[in-house]
Amino acid sequence: MSLQINPDLQAVVAPLTPEEYDQLKENIRKDGLLEPIALWEEQSGTIVDGHNRYAICQELGIGFKTKALSFPNIEAVKLWILEHQVGRRNLTDDQRAIIWNDIREQRAAVSRAAAIVKARDAKVNPGPVEDNASPTKPRTMAAVVAESKIPERALRKAQKLKQTNPDLYERVRSGTVTLREASKPKKSDKKFTEKDYYARIGRGLAASFSGVDPRLKELLAIKKTEWTPQADEGIRCLLLNLKDVTKKANGYATKLKAVLRKNAATPSDRRRYENCECDDADQCALCEDYEKRTSIYEPELRA
């Protein structure tokens, strides 16, 4: 018998670890398939529960039994899978927090789907409509905390992680990363989101190149009566030094613009930086425009 696999349903729960899969395979090899594979009655042949058992039976050439379950829509199927699996497998507390967060969200999805069907029926058949659907379980955070026995803090961490980093969320579901590790910001991430990180660099550059050095100010005020061959040679050497510094600064500017282009959020941003080919921000309309819109480098320090 050939069954159908819906990837959306298969992806609802965490996959088995290699060790769990091997143990299940050995159990089926030794005892056969003891539990029937659940199918969606309204979608004949579509597996609801038992994807791994079906794959193993196909691999070993072992027969299997099935049972049909009725669901009004795919949202109800997903909710059944989540509620069925959360108490059945040997999951970590973090994996259970992830699944219970999914259950809370899925209950909301089931309620929305039922409301849509009810509104459609009311439109087609005006008049009082009997609501024979089973009541939806409470989906508030407090209700889920009470039902799951999962701390509210863990559930809120799971909720936030799903919104901010779905990839890490799935890794916690699979058991490869803990919720604490996934929720902890990387040092590098934190550093590069700090506005003062860039302001410190800007202040250092301003102090180095904007005439803050009192010795440079002193040289700018040198008088003809103080002029000597040594002063002439020394200032010429300083000009060469400044030219070298300018060259290196322009090199950094070119490299930083390449970083902007590489990491630009949108194509329009990339085009914006690609059009910026200046060597001097004072002569570049794009850079001047940005300079007017930011205070990151503390303008009062600029010479």
3-state secondary structure of 37: strand
The CA distance from 55 to 117, in Å, is 35
Residue 17 has pLDDT above 90, yes or no: no
3-state secondary structure of 253: helix
Residue 282 has pLDDT above 50, yes or no: no
CB 39 within 8 A of CB 8: no
Q: How confident is the model at residue 36 (pLDDT cuts 50, 70, 90)?
A: very high
Q: How confident is the model at residue 303 (pLDDT cuts 50, 70, 90)?
A: very low
The region of weakest confidence among 10-14, 68-72, 205-209, 256-260 is: 205-209
Residue 89 has pLDDT above 70, yes or no: no
DSSP 268-291: HHHHHHHT---S-GGG-HHHHHHH
Q: Which residues pair with 128 in a beta bridge?
A: none
Residue 64 has pLDDT above 60, yes or no: yes
DSSP state of 137: P
pLDDT of residue 25: 94
Higher-pLDDT residue of 7 and 189 is 7
Please choose, from the candidates 41, 47, 49, the residue with its C-alpha nearest in 3D space to the C-alpha of residue 69.
41
pLDDT of residue 198: 78
Please choose, from the candidates 92, 96, 4, the residue with its C-alpha nearest in 3D space to the C-alpha of residue 50.
4
Convert the pLDDT of each residue in 140-165 to its tens digit: 788 899 999 999 999 999 999 999 89
Residue 276 has pLDDT above 80, yes or no: no
With the C-alpha atoms ordered 252, 254, 257, 263, is the resulting torsion angle positive or negative? Answer: negative
The secondary element (H helix, E strand) that includes residue 40 is strand 37-40
CB 69 within 8 A of CB 48: yes
Q: How confident is the model at residue 298 (pLDDT cuts 50, 70, 90)?
A: very low
Residue 277 has pLDDT above 70, yes or no: no
Please choose, from the candidates 46, 54, 37, 100, the residue with its C-alpha nearest in 3D space to the C-alpha of residue 71.
46
* Amino acid, single-letter form, for residue 221: A
Q: What is the mean pLDDT of residues 5-21?
A: 88
CB 44 within 8 A of CB 71: no
Tokens 């298969």, residue located: 10
The region of weakest confidence among 45-49, 106-110, 115-119 is: 115-119
Residue 57 has pLDDT above 90, yes or no: yes
Higher-pLDDT residue of 225 and 204 is 225
Tokens 């941003």, residue located: 269
**What share of the chain has pLDDT > 90, as a percent?**
35
Helix 141-148 and helix 93-124: axis angle, to 10°? 130
The CA distance from 167 to 151, in Å, is 23
Q: How confident is the model at residue 215 (pLDDT cuts 50, 70, 90)?
A: confident
DSSP 43-96: STTBEEE-HHHHHHHHHHT----EEEE--SSHHHHHHHHHHHHHTTS---HHHH
Tokens 């970590």, residue located: 92
Q: What is the mean pLDDT of residues 265-273?
A: 58
Residue 271 has pLDDT above 60, yes or no: no
* Amino acid, single-letter form, for residue 248: K
Residue 189 has pLDDT above 80, yes or no: no
- The structure's pTM equals 0.58
The CA distance from 56 to 62, in Å, is 8
The region of weakest confidence among 163-172, 197-206, 240-249, 257-266 is: 257-266
Average of per-residue pLDDT values in the chain: 80
